[in-house]
Every structure is written in structure tokens, then in C-alpha cells.
């Protein structure tokens, strides 16, 4: 009886340790200065859950920084998900002026503020570099009557309710807006009348099953189904052809006379008011990182396009991307005042 209770306790202790290990992260602590930065553990954070796009980006970055010895201190990665990355954005405000935390963001960083999810935006973090890009793809089922972006836009122009657009993210978020940007550039009026349905992860199944007419998503998300011929991409939103094989055959919207592009960028950020020495260090390190063979291999494997931008250029880019979103949201009446 006694030893049984004891062994139960041991089991429980092991189990407790196991589970807390998932929640804990290492803390460096030691004083750092410009000369010896980085010292102690860094803190790499994905503002979303495990297995998502942010998670994949930051883990790949940390791994290659380590493999290439560009950074020699430990870079444990943790997840701080919630409210489209806004939860992490809020916790970053408590790290003002610190130099340990490195995080990844993409367009939702801009959208959450514009939609009123949070009061915090890209001005409340320190942009270090733009890293990679994915592009929007507009896909239909293989037997869909729509063959080009023009077919689709014409259908919308003659009857705004005739095309049902599905996506993963919620209304007013990325999948919705990337399509509206293209629709606006094609001259479709009454953007707020276009039916957009948010489906969570099951959106792919919905377009495959013919339940929606168009699926607005990221190119890399559907590459497998485009290659297999189950889905057909009407267009993608880069300013150039991307990828290889069938993916490279997808025309850009620009080629089809729609004068607009959309980049689903991913960039690296530090906490607000990150010290100058740390900003300099990361700008230089990321510049070296994107030049490595390992990085080139990772980009190819994940279907990422190069979108490296150094901090000043990246900050300007963010400002412009923000304005684009703002005007669309304003037009459909979803801009948070």
C-alpha cells in the first residue's frame, strides 16, 4: 500500500515535470551589453500555435541560425498564441527596450489593429527584416466554369452574388482582403456586397466538394492539390511567376490585366524600443542568413519566395501595406475607427 502510493507519487511527479516542460521556457538573465550581445539564451517566439505558418518560419530560422553557427547561443522556440497574434503583441509591450526576444509576424500584424482587435500595431514592435513571401492564390475546382481571373470578375460584375468566395481566416482578415484588393483593381463595384464565407481549416474541402466557387488562400497551402489537378489556380498575386513546374504555369493577376499585387510577407521583429546594438546585430545576422545555402534549401522545400528587406526598407513597406488594407477595409465598412 505504502510503496504503491509512493510509486504513484513518482509517476505523478514525472508526469508533472513532463507537462510543465512544455509550458516552460529558459531564461537567460545575465546583463548584456553592445560588446557581448547575444549572451545567454535568446527567446524565439511564434505568436501562433505549433504547426502553423509563423511556427514553421521561426523554427526554420532558429534551426538554420544554429546549423550555420551564425548564432551560437541557445535559441529555444516557444509559442504564445491567441487572438491572431495580438496576445503576444500585448506581452511584447512588457519587454520594452529588451534585446532577447525575437518574433515573427505577417499581415495579421497590421490587420488586427485595423479591425479593432487590438490597439497595438506594427509601430509597437521593432521591424528587423522582411524575410520571405507567400502569395495569394485564387483556386477553383478542376471542373469549374471559371478559367481566368477575368471570367470570375466579369461574373461578379454582372451579378455580385453569383460567386461565393471561401477562405480560412475570418471576415475582414487576410483571405478576404487579398481577394477584394484584386476585385477592386478589376473595377468591381460594391465590394461590401461580395459574399465571403470563413471556413476555418475545412475551406479546402469546401472548394474540392464544389460547395464554394472560389477559394482564396496562400499559394503554398494548395500547391499539392494544384499539382495533382484537383484544383485549378486562376491567378496568383506576385509580380512575377513563382515556383517550378505546374506552379510556375500559374499566371499572375498582373499578367491578366489586374494592376495589383498582394504579398503575404513574413518578417522578423524585436520588442518595442529594442536597443540599437541588438537591432544592428540582427540586421547583419539576417542579411548573412538569407545568403546561406541552407536558407535557399529551406525556401525551396517550403515553397517560400525570397522577400528579404533590410529594416528601413521593410518599415517603409509595412507603411504602404497598411495603407492598402486601410482603404479596402474602409470601403467595405469594416475599418475600426
List the helix and strand counts (H, then E) for the chain. Answer: 12, 10
- Give least dist CB 261 to another protein, A: 24
Question: CB-wise, 232 or 311, nearer to another protein?
Answer: 232
C-alpha to C-alpha distance for 41 and 33, rounded to whole angstroms: 14
Question: CB-wise, 8 or 34, nearer to another protein?
Answer: 8
Of the chain, the end-to-end C-alpha distance in Å amounts to: 66
- Give least dist CB 225 to another protein, A: 5
- Give least dist CB 166 to another protein, A: 8
Spell out a b/e string for 27-53, using b for 16 or more CB atoms within 10 Å of the CB, else e: ebeeebeeeebbbbbbbbbbbbeeeeb
Q: Do 39 and 32 touch, CB atoms closer than 8 A?
A: yes
Go through the chain and tell me how many residues it has: 337
Please name the residues in contact with 32: beta carbons below 8 A apart, sequence gap of 6 or more.
38, 39, 40, 99
- Give least dist CB 67 to another protein, A: 10
- Give least dist CB 8 to another protein, A: 6
- Give least dist CB 161 to another protein, A: 6
Question: CB-wise, 88 or 309, nearer to another protein?
Answer: 88
- Give least dist CB 256 to another protein, A: 25
In 142-218, the DSSP E strands lie at: 164-167, 195-198, 214-218
Question: CB-wise, 80 or 261, nearer to another protein?
Answer: 80
Q: Do 291 and 129 touch, CB atoms closer than 8 A?
A: no
Q: Which three cell numbers stand for residue 19?
A: 507537462
Closest by CA to 77, choosing from 26, 113, 124, 137, is 26
Q: Which three cell numbers stand for residue 55?
A: 511556427
Question: CB-wise, 34 or 205, nearer to another protein?
Answer: 205
Question: CB-wise, 172 or 267, nearer to another protein?
Answer: 172
Is omega for the bond preceding 128 within 30 degrees of 0, making it cis?
Answer: no
Binding positions for another protein, rule: CB under 8 A: 1, 4-5, 7-8, 11-12, 15-16, 18-23, 49-52, 55-56, 59-60, 63, 77-84, 86-87, 90, 115-118, 161, 164, 169-173, 195, 197-202, 204-206, 208-209, 211-212, 223-225, 227-228, 230, 301-302, 334
Question: CB-wise, 117 or 237, nearer to another protein?
Answer: 117
Amino acid at each position: 500500500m505504502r510503496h504503491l502510493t509512493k510509486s504513484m507519487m513518482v509517476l505523478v511527479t514525472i508526469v508533472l515535470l513532463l507537462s510543465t516542460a512544455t509550458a516552460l521556457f529558459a531564461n537567460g538573465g545575465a546583463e548584456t551589453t553592445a560588446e557581448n550581445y547575444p549572451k545567454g539564451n535568446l527567446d524565439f517566439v511564434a505568436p501562433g500555435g505549433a504547426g502553423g505558418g509563423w511556427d514553421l518560419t521561426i523554427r526554420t530560422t532558429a534551426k538554420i541560425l544554429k546549423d550555420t553557427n551564425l548564432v551560437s547561443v541557445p535559441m529555444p522556440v516557444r509559442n504564445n498564441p491567441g487572438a491572431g497574434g495580438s496576445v503576444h503583441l500585448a506581452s511584447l509591450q512588457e519587454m520594452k527596450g529588451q534585446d532577447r526576444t525575437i518574433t515573427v509576424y505577417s499581415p495579421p500584424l497590421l490587420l488586427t489593429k485595423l479591425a479593432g482587435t487590438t490597439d497595438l500595431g506594427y509601430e509597437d514592435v521593432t521591424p528587423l527584416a522582411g524575410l520571405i513571401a507567400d502569395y495569394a492564390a485564387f483556386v477553383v475546382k478542376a471542373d469549374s466554369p471559371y478559367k481566368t481571373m477575368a471570367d470570375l470578375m466579369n461574373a461578379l460584375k454582372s451579378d455580385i452574388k453569383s460567386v461565393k468566395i471561401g477562405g480560412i481566416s475570418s471576415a475582414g482578415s487576410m483571405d478576404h482582403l487579398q481577394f477584394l484588393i484584386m476585385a477592386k483593381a478589376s473595377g468591381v463595384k460594391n465590394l461590401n456586397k461580395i459574399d465571403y464565407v470563413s471556413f476555418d481549416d475545412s475551406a479546402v474541402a469546401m472548394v474540392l466538394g464544389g460547395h464554394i466557387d472560389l477559394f482564396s488562400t496562400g499559394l503554398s497551402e494548395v500547391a499539392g492539390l494544384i499539382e495533382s489537378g484537383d484544383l485549378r489556380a486562376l491567378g496568383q498575386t506576385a509580380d512575377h511567376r513563382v515556383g517550378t513546374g505546374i506552379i510556375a504555369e500559374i499566371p499572375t493577376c498582373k499578367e491578366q490585366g489586374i494592376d495589383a499585387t498582394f504579398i503575404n510577407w513574413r518578417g522578423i521583429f524585436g520588442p518595442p524600443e529594442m536597443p540599437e546594438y541588438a537591432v544592428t546585430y540582427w540586421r547583419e545576422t539576417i542579411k548573412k542568413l538569407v545568403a546561406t545555402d541552407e536558407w535557399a534549401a529551406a525556401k525551396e522545400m517550403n515553397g517560400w519566395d525570397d522577400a528579404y528587406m533590410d529594416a528601413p526598407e521593410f518599415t517603409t513597406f509595412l507603411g504602404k501595406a497598411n495603407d492598402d488594407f486601410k482603404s479596402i477595409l474602409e470601403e467595405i465598412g469594416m475599418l475600426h475607427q
